[in-house]
Amino acid sequence: MSEKVYFIDSRIKKFDYAYSLQGRLEKVLEKIDLSKYFSRDELVPLKMHLGNRGGHHTLRPNFVRLVTEKLKEIGAKPFVTDSSRVKPYEYLEVANQMGYNQLSLGCPVIIADGIFGYDSIMVKAGKFLKELAVPSAIYDAKSMLVLTHVKGHIDSSYAGAIKNLAMGCVSRQPRGCTWKEGGRGKMHFQMAEIMAWDKKLCTYCAICANNCPVEAITIKKDLFEVNEEKCWRCGRCVKVCPEKALSVPQSHLNFSAALAEAAGAVLNTFEKGKVLYINFILDVQPECDCMAISDNPLIQDQGILIGDDIVAIETSTMDLIEKTAPLPQSKAEGMELKKGQDIFSVLHKKDARIQIKEAEKLGLGKSDYILEKI
């Protein structure tokens, strides 16, 4: 049986709130009956990326506010959350700058693994990851609503709901553990101990150090040092290095499989049917929202997808993106896409759909879907 995915096209046909993206999102949330997923007095995490200083193409607060209001109407108690991306206290400051706070969203905004980033519970994963640290605010919740700003990514090529769970619902480093013992970094680096540095290519520009979220890199004249204990293995330094002097040996297939495995480990902390997904194909960026910049969108806005099957909603998202053309003045300007190609896979030179196929192999959902246009 095909899984149903609701689609709100970004094209507006009438000058009427009811036909706006927000108005139609409100209509869908009422149609699907949120009380099937969330109960009265239940604390419901709204899992989303809170952005980074320097970025501005992120999920619009008005959409988040609408979701919180609809949850409150059925008596649920929502809160917006993410695991620590930068130092947790600073991440809350970033969220406030991005317009994500209690006044704007109508609910608390918290860091899922605590103000120091160590509040997590170890759960079983699989053959690649063994164990992962899931933030307590996610682990202890009975249900979850996943709000995903669709974009590109340094390692996964495509960052959607799977990546939102795999990276965003796993702590950076469990208390008393190394990054290899349950933290998010081992998905990025896998078996690599630390990034490789090519002295011959390095110009000591310090862009890597300036982009490091934990200040683990020291750059001086003819000196490059990494504090391995502080390093989160996020890979951001590798991405931003203009001279390609930093690198991480990695298998994209293994990384994609690890993402699916991590998403499955997170979903196993919930009862079946208690997680709802909303994918926003708006302001689609070439890189993750954790980067300290925003670029021109790669494609025209497509709209919003809603469903309760993670594989179905990810497949439908990629199917929509595959039909779009690169926008002028974007990073993908002039890109020629052949039939069956998508903008992320060509741009990042990595197959964006592998993670979705791996998730289906693990039984996280079905790629067969029916799209209901609203």
3-state secondary structure labels for all residues of 37-87: CCCCCCEEEEECCCCCCCCCCCCCHHHHHHHHHHHHHCCCEEEEEECCCCC
Evaluate whether 156 touches 163 at the Cβ level (below 8 Å). yes
Question: What are the average pLDDT values for consecutive 10-residue runs of the chain, which has 374 residues?
Answer: 94 95 97 96 98 94 98 98 92 96 98 93 89 95 98 91 95 69 64 74 89 86 83 79 82 87 96 96 95 94 98 98 96 92 94 97 97 96
Give the integer Cα–Cα distance in Å for 54 and 9. Answer: 29
The token duo for 164 is 């939102």
3-state secondary structure labels for all residues of the chain: CCEEEEEEECCCCCCCHHHCHHHHHHHHHHHCCHHHCCCCCCEEEEECCCCCCCCCCCCCHHHHHHHHHHHHHCCCEEEEEECCCCCHHHHHHHHHHCCCCHHHHCCCEEECCCCCCCCEEEEECCCCCCEEEEEHHHHCCCCEEEEEECEEECCCEEECHHHHHHHHCCCCCCCCCCCCCCCCHHHHHCCCCCCEECCCCCCCCCHHHHHCCCCCEEEECCEEEECCCCCCCCCHHHHHCCCCCEECCCCHHHHHHHHHHHHHHHHCCCCCCCEEEEEEECCCCCCCCCCCCCCCCCCCCCEEEEECCHHHHHHHHHHHHHCCCCCCCCCCCCCCCCCCCCHHHHHHCCCCCHHHHHHHHCCCCCCCEEEEEC
Which residue is listed with tokens 């039909």?
323
Interacting residues of 328 by C-beta distance below 8 A, sequence separation 6+: none
Q: Does the domain at residues 3-185+250-373 carry the CATH identifier 3.40.50?
A: yes
Q: Is the dihedral of CA 168, 150, 292, 49 positive or negative?
A: negative
Which residue is listed with tokens 């594989």?
311
Give the integer Cα–Cα distance in Å for 168 and 164. Answer: 5
Give the integer Cα–Cα distance in Å for 289 and 273. Answer: 28
Q: Is the dihedral of CA 229, 231, 234, 235 positive or negative?
A: negative
Which residue is listed with tokens 């949330």?
29
Sequence ranges of the chain with CATH classification 3.40.50? 3-185+250-373
The CATH architecture one would assign to domain 193-247 is 2-Layer Sandwich (3.30)
Give the integer Cα–Cα distance in Å for 50 and 94. Answer: 7
pLDDT given at position 177? 66
Give the integer Cα–Cα distance in Å for 98 and 92. Answer: 10
Sequence ranges of the chain with CATH classification 3.30.70.20? 193-247
